Amino acid sequence: MNYIVFDLEWNQPDDGKKSSERKLLFEIIEIGAVKLNEDKKIIDSFCELVCPQVYQEINWRTKKMLGLKNGELNQGETFKAVMNRFLKWCGKEDYIFCSWGSQDLTELQRNMKYYRMEPLSNKPIPFYNVQKLYGIQIGEEESTKNLEAAVELAGLKKDVPFHRAYGDAYYTAKLFMHMDEELLKNHYSYDLYHIPHTKKEEIRICNEKENILITRGVAKKKDITASRQMMAINCMKCGQKPVQAKIRWFSSNNKIFYAAGYCPKHGYIKGKLKIRKSEQGEYYAEKVLTYTTEEEINQVKEKKKLLQKTTK
């Protein structure tokens, strides 16, 4: 299997309009990528500009960050032409996308839909979020280091410019090349531009620390919170057996819920449930159960107490 490590640059005009008022939130203006073989060796590269069709005026922040020269984007072709060449370059062999962060694959698909191109997939797409993997590898799982900071920390040579699609893809690939193979086996991320359609398609990820479930879509938010199975706290080390609740589910905004349970054999488990709305207008949930400490459980208790005080 090959790895397609890619990066996008995009533009959004600064005209004060709300996101909901736009047909296309971000217009892609550059695609850069590096292809790695199964041994994680660089075997090819891709870099093309896209001539903007939707937002002709380039945001000054975007222009400054990318160091764009006047008229530079006019040298590019349409998104559809560039995207077709990019997909051809990706090849027919099996590959998996890799990116720094989680947004690029979603924006790529939004632009494809806008230009009425065939979708990459009608299902969630597995990929490697190298930013997340890097945080896990250095023992900072909640880390959201920017790419340049990660490159500096890793001691990698800076031999191409940052903040352009190819340069950022290149450095992401360099970091990915040093990822531990065991880490990669159980830490896929999923792009949810298209969510699961059926129970069989629902995503379940189990590793040594956490149990993740991403559900299919439902019409109403309450269909998620009313499900006993969805709101159960299970011990994955006991074959998904439900455990005693220590803190019942609570939320301050009906979007993110917290809970905790206790397994006599394997200890405390904290739960986090996020309810989101898909691009297609359905509600779905991401449920994460994590083995934790009594100290962290007490922190969750304090959070619940504080919320109860403020809502009285």
Q: Which domains does the chain have, with CATH numbers?
A: 2-185 (3.30.420.10), 197-310 (3.30.530)
| HSE-up (13 A, CA, CB side) for residue 122 | 3
Q: Which of 71, 58, 70, 64 is nearest to 28 (CA)?
A: 58
- Res. 284: pLDDT tops 80: yes
Using an 8 Å Cβ cutoff, are 36 and 2 in contact?
A: yes
Name residues whose C-beta falls within 8 Å of residue 194's C-beta, 6 or more positions apart in sequence.
109, 119, 121, 122, 123, 124, 125, 278, 279, 280
pLDDT tens-place string over residues 141-195: 777 889 999 999 999 999 999 999 999 999 999 999 999 998 898 789 999 999 9
Separation of alpha carbons 266 and 5, rounded Å: 38
List pLDDT tens digits, range 83-95: 999 999 999 999 9
- Dihedral (C-alpha) 130, 133, 134, 135: value to the nearest 10 degrees? 130
Is the model's pLDDT at 80 over the cut of 90?
yes
| Cβ 50 vs Cβ 73: under 8 Å | yes
| Per-residue pLDDT, 68 | 85
What are 193-237's pLDDT values in tens digits? 999 999 999 999 887 778 899 999 999 999 999 998 889 999 988
Of the candidates 22, 172, 37, which has an alpha carbon nearest to the alpha carbon of residue 110?
A: 22
What pLDDT was estimated at residue 312?
A: 61
pLDDT tens sequence across 95-139: 999 999 999 999 999 999 999 999 999 999 999 999 999 999 998
**211 HSE (CA, 13 A, CB side):** 17
Distance separating alpha carbons of residues 168 and 145, to the nearest angstrom: 14
Q: Where are the beta strands (DSSP E) in the chain?
A: 2-11, 27-36, 42-49, 95-99, 125-129, 189-191, 203-206, 210-214, 234-235, 241-242, 244-251, 256-263, 267-277, 283-292
- Residue 262's CB is within 10 A of a number of other CB atoms, namely 17
| pLDDT tens by residue, 67-79 | 888 788 999 999 9
Structure tokens at 305: 């107490």
